[in-house]
Amino acid sequence: MAEARGGSLQRSMQNHFELFGLEPAYALEPERLERAYREIQAKIHPDRFAHAGDAERRASMQWTTRVNEAYRMLRDPALRARYLLELNGVDVALETNTAMPAEFLIRQMEQREALELAAAERDAGALARMRTALRIEKRELQDAIAEQIDARRDYARAADPVRKLMFLDKLDAEIDAAFETMEG
Amino acid sequence: MSLLQISEPGQSPAPHEHRLAVGIDLGTTNSLVATVRNGVATVLPDEQGRPLLPSIVRYLPGSKVEVGYAAQAHQSDDPKNTIASVKRFMGRGLKDVAYVENSPYDFVDAPGMLQLRTAAGVKSPVEISAEILKVLRARAEASLGGNLVGAVITVPAYFDDAQRQATKDAATLAGINVLRLLNEPTAAAIAYGLEHAAEGVYAVFDLGGGTFDISILKLSRGVFEVLATNGDAALGGDDFDHRVFCWALEEARLPPVQPRDMRLLHAKAREAKEALTYHGEAPMTARLSTGEFVDVTLSTEAFCRITQHLVQKTLGPTRKALRDAGLGVNDIQGVVMVGGATRMPQIQRAVGELFQRDPLNNLDPDKVVALGAAMQANVLAGNRFQGEDWLLLDVIPLSLGIETMGGLVERIIPRNSTIPTARAQEFTTFKDGQGAMSFHVVQGERELVSDCRSLARFELHGIPPMSAGAGRVRVTFQVDADGLLSITAKEKSTGVEASIAVKPSYGLTDAEIERMLRDSVEHAKDDMHARALQENRVEGERLADAVRAALAADSALLSPAERAAIEERLSVLRKLLPGMDHRAIKQASEALNRATDDFAARRMDASVRRALAGQKIANLDA
C-alpha cells in the first residue's frame, strides 16, 4: 500500500469518474455521485485538518480542490458530456466550430430576440414560459447525448447535441440575467 | 439530524486534553465570544455578566484604549476618537463608504483601505478591529483558564476578499490563531440545524447592524451544504437608523448638526426604531449642544415609508440566491431569521410574503452566530464530542476574474463555487518580443472592470523574446477554505518557468503586521519575546500532537527509515518546547513540517482510498 511518492494517487487517477468510483458514462445517478462526493469530503476536507500541520493542511486543500472540481464537472450535464467527449478524443471546441445547423442558429437568434423583448417589456411571465420550454428542450438533448455516448459509443456524433446543449445553457443564464435586471 | 460518523482511530485527541477554542462574532454593532463547554455552546459574558461587547473603540491621548461599554459612554462627548461600526470600513477605500459626510470621524484616504485620525495617531480599521478581538480573547482566556489554540471568526457571507483578508489580519494582530473564517449565515445554520435536527433546504436571512446575507443551505445527514449565497455588504440596521436620523432632522427643521449632536441623534434614532418593534409610535426627544430642542414622534407608518427602499434591497439578493440554487420558494423548508435587525416588523412581513410562510424566530438573533461559530471551533480544534462530527461545504460569494482588453472582465471563478477551489486560465502575449505581462484581478458580477472591486495588480517579468501569441502565461486562482484568494502565474511556452505568488494590494504586508504588533506590544508594555515564545509553543505543540496522532494511525505508510527521520525531528521539537528559545522552536516546527510533507500526501491518498473502499464500488489498486 505504501507508495513510491506521496500524492501519486491524484496523478494516477485516470479521470473524474474513477475518483468517485463510477463508470465513465453519461447517464449517472445523482444520488450516488453525491454520496461518493460526501464520503470523500468527510475524510479530506480542510475542516478535518484545521489543527494539523502545514503539510497535511496543504495536502487536504489540494485534494479537496480536485474533488470539488471533479464534482462540479460531473454534476453538470453539459460539462459532463463535454468531459466524456474529451476523454474519448473529441474536442467540442464551441468557439471555433461554426458548423452548427443553420436552422438551430436561426432559432437561437429568434429566442434571443424574444428574450430581449420580454426583458424590455419587463414581462416576467414570458420569461418564465421561455424557461419552461427551454428546460424541455434541454432534457431532449440530454436524452440524445445519452443515446450517442452510452448506447452507440459514437462520440463524434454526440458532439452536435453537446454543442446545442451548451448554447441552451448560455440562453438559460441570459434568462437569469434578464430576471436580475428586471428586479434591479 | 443523524450525524455522519467520520472520526477515525488515532485521529481524535485523548479524552482529557480538551483544546480551548472559541467562536467569535465580530459584529458591526456588537461582538460576542462563545465556546463549547461540556458539549454545550455558551456565550462567555464579561465580569459584569454582560454577554455583548459593543463594537466601539475609543482612543485616548497616549496609548490608552477603551473598548465596549466604556467607549460607548463617550460616543457623544468624544465622537472623533470613539469609533463605532468599524466593520463597515474593513477592506474599504474612502469612496466605498456611505454617508462619509454624516460621519464624525477624521478620515485619511489611503491606498486600498481608508484610515482614521485619532488622539492616539492614525489607525487602520484592522487595528481598531484588533482592539475588539483582544478584549474578547482576554475574556475567553480568563474565563477558560488557559491559552486558546484558536478561534473561528465569523464574517458576512457576502464579504469580498479584501474584507475577509482584513478580518484575518485583525485576528493575527490580536494574537489569535484563526482556525477558520466562517460565514455568518452558515454559523447560524449549524446552530439551528443541530438544535432542531433540521433536514431539508433552509434559507438563512441575516440582517445585522451593517451587513445583509441570504444563504440557501441543504441540511442532510450531518452535512451542511451551502447551495447559494447573496447579499449586500453595506446594508443593515445602521441604515434604518440613518433614515430615521435624516427624517428627524427634516421633521424638526434642523440645519446640519455638529458631530456630537449627530451621534446623539443617531442613538435616539436607534432607540425609536427599537421601540417600534413593540409600539405603534415612538417619541424622539433630545437637547442639542446648540440649545435647540428636538421633539418629534415617529409612527410605524412613517418608519415603514422612509425605510421601504431598504427593505426592498434585501429582496433582490434573496431572489438571486434562490435562482442560483435552482430553487423556488416552495422548495424551502424554513426561513431562519438572524441578526438584530430582523426584529423589525416590516422585515418579518416582507420575508414572510416572499417565501409565503412565517419566518422562524426561535433563536436568539444576537447570539446564534457566535454559538454556531463556537460549535465549529470545537470541531476544528479536534474536540469531537461523542465521536460525532459534521461536514460543512461553503461557497465563494462573488465571482473572481481578470481584466482583459477594453476594460472587460474574464471570469475565472464564478460565484457560488464550492470552496476550496482552483481554476486556471491561459493568457498569451500580443506583441512580438513582449517581455512582461500585467494583470488586474477583480471581484464582482459586472461585465465592466470599473463596476467590480479591484483586488490586486501584478506583473510577470522575464518572458523570453517570442513572436506575438507564442508566450503563454497560465494564471491560477486558488481560493482556500476561508474564502481567501491566492494567485500564481507561470510562463511556460519555452520551458522557462517564472512563478509569483500575489498578496492582494489591500492586504497588509507581513512587515506591516509585524510593525503593528510591535507597536501594540510596546504600548501594552508586554514582552515581545514572551509573546513569540507562547505563540510558537502553542503552534509547536499543536504540530507535535498532530504528527504523533498521524504516526499512531498510519505509520504503515512509511518505510522504517522514513519513520525514523520523522520521529527524530519530532523528538527534537519536543525537547525544545519547554525551553525559552522561540526561534529554535519555530525552526524545529518548520523542519518537522517539511519532513512530513510526503507522509501527509500519502495519508490523504489513503483516506480517499478508504472512502472509496467504504462505498464498495471500486478498487483503485486494481
For B11, the 3-state DSSP assignment is: coil
- Give chain A positions within 8 Å (CB) of B539: none
CATH number at residue A113: 1.20.1280.20
Interface test with chain B among A56, A131, A169, by most B beta carbons within 10 Å: A56
Same domain for A120 and A52: no
What's the average model confidence in pLDDT over B539-546? 88
**Cβ contact, residue pair A42, B4, below 8 Å:** yes
Residue B302 carries which DSSP code? H
Whether residue A54 lies within 8 A of chain B, CB to CB, comes out as yes
**Cα–Cα dist B45/B38, whole Å:** 17
**Domain membership of residue A30 as a residue range:** 9-75
Interface of A with B in 17-46 (CB under 8 A): 18-19, 21-22, 35-36, 38-46
A101: preceding bond cis by omega (within 30 degrees) = no
* Strand B334-338 to B200-207 pairing: parallel
The answer to whether domain B527-614 has CATH 1.10.260.40 is no
**Cα–Cα dist B491/B478, whole Å:** 17
Does A115 fall in a domain?
Answer: yes
Residue spans of chain A under pLDDT 70: 1-8, 10-12, 94-98, 184
How would residue B330 be classed by pLDDT, with cut points 50, 70 and 90?
Answer: very high
- Whether B527 is a known active-site residue: answer no
**Cα–Cα dist B212/B316, whole Å:** 12
User: Which candidate from B323, B550, B617 shows the least CB-CB separation from A176?
Assistant: B323
Does A30 fall in a domain?
Answer: yes
More confident residue, A44 or B612: A44
How many CB pairs below 8 A link A and B? 171
pLDDT(B519) > 70: no
Closest CA to B160 of B97, B230, B240: B230
- pLDDT tens for each residue of B364-379: 999 999 999 999 999 9
Q: Which amino acid is it at A36? A: A
- Whether B161 is a known active-site residue: answer no
Does A89 fall in a domain?
Answer: no
Interface of A with B in 160-179 (CB under 8 A): 176, 179
How would residue B6 be classed by pLDDT, with cut points 50, 70 and 90?
Answer: very low
pLDDT(B7) > 90: no
Per-residue pLDDT at A4: 39
Does A140 fall in a domain?
Answer: yes
How would residue B282 be classed by pLDDT, with cut points 50, 70 and 90?
Answer: very high
**Cα–Cα dist B206/B277, whole Å:** 17
Estimate to the nearest angstrom the gap between the alpha carbon of A131 and the chain centroid: 19
Does A96 fall in a domain?
Answer: no
Closest CA to B481 of B548, B408, B422: B422
Interface of A with B in 66-105 (CB under 8 A): 68-69, 71-72
Hey, what CATH topology would domain B400-510 get?
Answer: Substrate Binding Domain Of DNAk; Chain A, domain 1 (2.60.34)
Closest CA to B350 of B319, B326, B322: B319
**Cα–Cα dist B547/B527, whole Å:** 30
User: Which candidate from A39, A46, A176 shows the least CB-CB separation from B611?
Assistant: A39
Whether residue B418 lies within 8 A of chain A, CB to CB, comes out as yes
How many CA atoms are closer than 13 Å to the CA of A69, on its beta-carbon side?
18
Same domain for A116 and A64: no
Cell of B442: 477583480
**Cβ contact, residue pair B601, A59, below 8 Å:** yes
Are B189 and B168 a contacting pair, CB within 8 Å?
no
How would residue B497 be classed by pLDDT, with cut points 50, 70 and 90?
Answer: low
Does A84 fall in a domain?
Answer: no
**Distant-in-sequence, close-in-space partners of B376: CB < 8 Å, separation ≥ 6:** A47, B23, B152, B180, B182, B187, B190, B392
Residue B93 carries which DSSP code? -
How many CA atoms are closer than 13 Å to the CA of B460, on its beta-carbon side?
27
What's the average model confidence in pLDDT over B257-267? 88
Say how many domains are in chain A.
2
- Give chain A positions within 8 Å (CB) of B550: 52, 56
Q: Final residue of a domain: which of A75, A92, A123?
A: A75
Closest CA to B112 of B610, B506, B419: B506
Does A68 fall in a domain?
Answer: yes
- pLDDT tens for each residue of B340-360: 999 999 999 999 999 999 999
Helix (H) or strand (E) holding B478: strand B472-479
- Whether B106 is a known active-site residue: answer no
CATH superfamily of B21-196+364-385: ATPase, nucleotide binding domain (3.30.420.40)
Are A137 and A171 a contacting pair, CB within 8 Å?
no
Per-residue pLDDT at B210: 92
Residue B220 carries which DSSP code? E
Could you give the C-alpha distances from B375 to A120, B37, B469, in angstroms and in order? 48, 10, 52
CATH number at residue A36: 1.10.287.110
Instruction: Name residue B478's beta-bridge partners.
Output: B422, B486
Could you give the C-alpha distances from B110 to B121, B275, B476, B506, in angstroms and in order? 15, 39, 29, 10
- Give chain A positions within 8 Å (CB) of B558: 2
Whether residue B419 lies within 8 A of chain A, CB to CB, comes out as yes
Per-residue pLDDT at A103: 87
Per-residue pLDDT at B3: 40
**Cβ contact, residue pair A1, B557, below 8 Å:** yes
DSSP assignment of B574-612 equals: HHHTTSS-HHHHHHHHHHHHHHTHHHHHHHHHHHHHHHH
Does A58 fall in a domain?
Answer: yes
What's the average model confidence in pLDDT over B121-129? 94
- pLDDT tens for each residue of B561-605: 999 999 999 999 999 999 888 889 999 999 999 999 899 989 988
Helix (H) or strand (E) holding B40: strand B40-43
- pLDDT tens for each residue of B449-460: 888 888 888 888
Q: Can you tell me the ipTM of this complex?
A: 0.89
**Cα–Cα dist A45/B608, whole Å:** 11
Same domain for A123 and A162: yes
Measure the N-to-C terminal CA separation of chain B; round to a whole number of Å. 37
Cell of B492: 511556460
Shortest Cα–Cα distance, A59 to chain B (Å): 5
pTM for the model stands at: 0.89
Q: State the catalytic residue, choosing from B66, B206, B261, B366.
A: B206
- pLDDT tens for each residue of B8-44: 433 444 444 788 999 999 999 999 999 999 889 999 9
- Give chain A positions within 8 Å (CB) of B563: none
**Cα–Cα dist B569/B592, whole Å:** 6
Shortest Cα–Cα distance, B137 to chain A (Å): 19
Closest CA to B66 of B128, B143, B141: B128
User: Which candidate from B150, B221, B420 shows the least CB-CB separation from A68?
Assistant: B420
Judge whether B21-196+364-385 and B527-614 match in fold: no
Number of H helices, E strands in chain B: 14, 27
- pLDDT tens for each residue of B194-244: 888 889 999 999 999 999 999 999 998 789 999 999 999 899 999 999 999
Residue B341 carries which DSSP code? G
- pLDDT tens for each residue of B381-395: 988 754 477 999 999
How would residue B518 be classed by pLDDT, with cut points 50, 70 and 90?
Answer: low
pLDDT(B322) > 70: yes
**Cα–Cα dist B473/B494, whole Å:** 11
User: Which candidate from A21, A43, A59 shows the least CB-CB separation from B6?
Assistant: A43
For B128, the 3-state DSSP assignment is: helix
Are B13 and B382 a contacting pair, CB within 8 Å?
yes
- Residues of chain A by 3-state class (helix, strand, coil), percent to 5: 75, 0, 25
Domain boundaries, chain B: 21-196+364-385, 400-510, 527-614
- Whether B238 is a known active-site residue: answer no
B13: preceding bond cis by omega (within 30 degrees) = no
